[in-house]
Amino acid sequence: MRKLFGTDGVRGTANIAPMTAETALRIGAAVGRYFRRDARGVHRVVIGKDTRLSGYMFEHALTAGLTSTGMNVLLLGPVPTPAVGLMTRSMRADLGVMISASHNPAEDNGIKFFGPDGFKLSDQAEAEIEALVEAGVEPAKASNIGSAKRIDDARFRYGERIKSSLSRETNLNGLKVVIDCANGAAWSTAPQVLWELGADVIPVGVTPDGHNINRGCGSTQPGTAAEMVVAHGADVGICLDGDADRVVIIDETGKVGDGDQLMALLADRWAVEGTLKGGALVATVMSNLGLERFLQGKGLRLERTAVGDRYVVERMRAGGFNLGGEQSGHIVMTDHATTGDGLMAGLHFLAEMLRSGQPASKLVHQFEAVPQLLRNVRFANGQTPLDAKPVQDAIAGAEASLAATGRLLIRKSGTEPLIRVMGESEDADLLAQAVDSVVVAVEGVVSA
């Protein structure tokens, strides 16, 4: 069982365990030892980060730990998470590290890892690394200590790779695009790429100061970008999160479309073109029932996984599928990338606007979503509310009430101390009653 690693690496509030400089140093040493088991040859690791102030602290701590075991560190600076997957593979590194807490507030931070193939590590690999963190590792001899070097053109390399996922004939001339970078990792790259492709760019969230990542902007708070789309008469808005691995689309009326709608659009289009591998889309248990029905109507399948884009990718690789993602906006296109890439997905949406001649409001609404309700209950460290009998009884009752019209999903978040209670049903009143009954039970246990 992993205690340090969650759904997407290690994550928490900066300077509070486990997200301390000391722990980061120990993790760096452990992961360096893990990937340097073969003592032959040159061993490299690339490290990227988003724009959080604590990124400097963790970057230096990880570098110290990694070089102490003989790893040579290549520092990319602030880059999107998908850039780390790309650079790990293209620079023939043994390991890639991204320092980011994604959509979380600036006070949080996290560390996630990519293997030499550019894909995120498996649960088993993380468990083995965690064991090394607990046991400690022997440092390298003084003569074998690794070095560190800054890579100044990482954002440029990533931008060129993003553009290459589109046909050479694609240009965005005539499109007015609002791009919200969440004051995060794509604050420079995303507007630049859109401008180079010919778009009239209206940037939002492009003034990071170390403290304002995801604050009032980005994919989890798209209100500001939606207002800008309407105010400027833009054709579309693209909202990224702090590390730019997820996206939501805003149509010309200011309406927000989630990842399910974008995946439906891409799956349908790729199926028509004959490029959708395996006749299926891979998504998580959180994706709307309406998406599943839409795909069935097209003769396609929905393959569901546990929550987390890396579980989506694992299923895609195992089944030979090339399109997957999450309702939250992680869109994975393994023909072009190794993990969710918000900017790439946004560009492919723009390309479909141009190809079809249809407005964003038409493309962002592919199916009627089944009413879905998600509520979160925060709990304290050490609490296990889902194990309490009142909660289990409430869940059983809610499941029974929704059995004929929908479904219920209750889970512990892998990135925050939250219990997530999600339900779907054609009967909105019944749905609200079912979800509320579970939430009340969890709140009662948490506050006891």
Q: What are the tens digits of pLDDT across the range 308-339?
A: 898 999 999 999 999 999 999 999 999 999 99
Exposure string (b/e) for 74-113, b if CB count within 10 Å is 16 or more?
A: bbbbbbbbbbbbbbbbebebbbbbbbbbbbbebbbbbbbb
Q: Is residue 387 part of a domain?
A: yes
The answer to whether residues 338 and 82 touch, using CB atoms and an 8 Å cutoff, is yes
pTM comes to 0.90
pLDDT at 415: 74
Which CATH number does the domain housing residue 384 bear? Answer: 3.30.310.50
Q: 1 pLDDT exceeds 70? A: no
Write out pLDDT tens, residues 268-292: 999 999 999 999 999 999 999 999 9
Residue 133: give the domain boundaries. 10-152
The Cα–Cα gap between 49 and 150 comes to 13
Q: Is residue 348 part of a domain?
A: yes
pLDDT at 37: 66
My answer on whether 225 and 360 are in the same domain is yes
Q: 2 pLDDT exceeds 90? A: no
The pLDDT-based confidence of 224 (bands split at 50, 70, 90) is very high
My answer on whether 269 and 319 are in the same domain is yes
- In percent, the amount of the chain with pLDDT more than 90 equals 90
Strands lying side by side in the sheet with 108-114: 10-13, 108-114, 95-99, 44-49, 72-78, 148-150
Contacts with 346 (C-beta within 8 Å, 6 or more apart), sequence order: 179, 238, 240, 247, 249
My answer on whether 113 and 68 are in the same domain is yes
For 164-192, what is the mean pLDDT?
96
Mean pLDDT of the chain: 95
My answer on whether 76 and 172 are in the same domain is no
The Cα–Cα gap between 190 and 207 comes to 13
My answer on whether 345 and 203 are in the same domain is yes
Write out pLDDT tens, residues 347-399: 999 999 999 999 999 999 999 999 999 999 999 877 889 999 999 999 999 99
The Cα–Cα gap between 91 and 412 comes to 37
Q: Is residue 160 part of a domain?
A: yes
Q: Is residue 429 part of a domain?
A: yes
pLDDT at 381: 76
Write out pLDDT tens, residues 99-156: 999 999 999 999 999 999 999 999 899 999 999 999 999 999 999 999 999 999 999 9
My answer on whether 69 and 182 are in the same domain is no
The pLDDT-based confidence of 448 (bands split at 50, 70, 90) is confident
For residue 153, give both structure tokens: 């053109």
pLDDT at 197: 98
pLDDT at 40: 59
Q: Is residue 5 part of a domain?
A: no
Worst-scoring range by mean pLDDT, 35-49, 60-74, 187-201?
Answer: 35-49
The answer to whether residues 97 and 47 touch, using CB atoms and an 8 Å cutoff, is yes
pLDDT at 139: 93
Boundary (domain end) residue, out of 316, 336, 369: 369
For the chain, what is the domain count? 3
Q: Is residue 3 part of a domain?
A: no
My answer on whether 337 and 202 are in the same domain is yes
My answer on whether 143 and 157 are in the same domain is no
Give the residue carrying structure tokens 């649960």: 123
pLDDT at 384: 86
Q: How far is CA 421 from CA 307, 373, 441, 443, in A?
A: 13, 8, 11, 12
My answer on whether 145 and 172 are in the same domain is no
Which CATH number does the domain housing residue 139 bear? Answer: 3.40.120.10
pLDDT at 345: 98
For 93-103, what is the mean pLDDT?
96
The Cα–Cα gap between 75 and 408 comes to 44
Q: Is residue 102 part of a domain?
A: yes
Say which residue, 94 or 37, is predicted with more confidence.
94
For 202-207, what is the mean pLDDT?
98
Give the residue carrying structure tokens 């760019």: 201
Whether residue 102 lies in the annotated active site: yes
Q: 244 pLDDT exceeds 90? A: yes
Helix axes 21-35, 54-68, angle to 10 degrees: 40
Helix axes 21-35, 123-135, angle to 10 degrees: 120
Annotated catalytic residue within 100, 102, 188, 425: 102
pLDDT at 13: 96
My answer on whether 104 and 160 are in the same domain is no
Boundary (domain end) residue, out of 152, 170, 189: 152
Q: 39 pLDDT exceeds 70? A: no
The Cα–Cα gap between 107 and 245 comes to 19
Boundary (domain end) residue, out of 152, 175, 205: 152
Do strands 418-425 and 372-378 pair parallel, antiparallel, or not at all (unpaired)? antiparallel
My answer on whether 85 and 221 are in the same domain is no
Q: Is residue 1 part of a domain?
A: no
Whether the upstream peptide bond of residue 18 has omega within 30° of 0, thus cis, is yes
My answer on whether 429 and 377 are in the same domain is yes
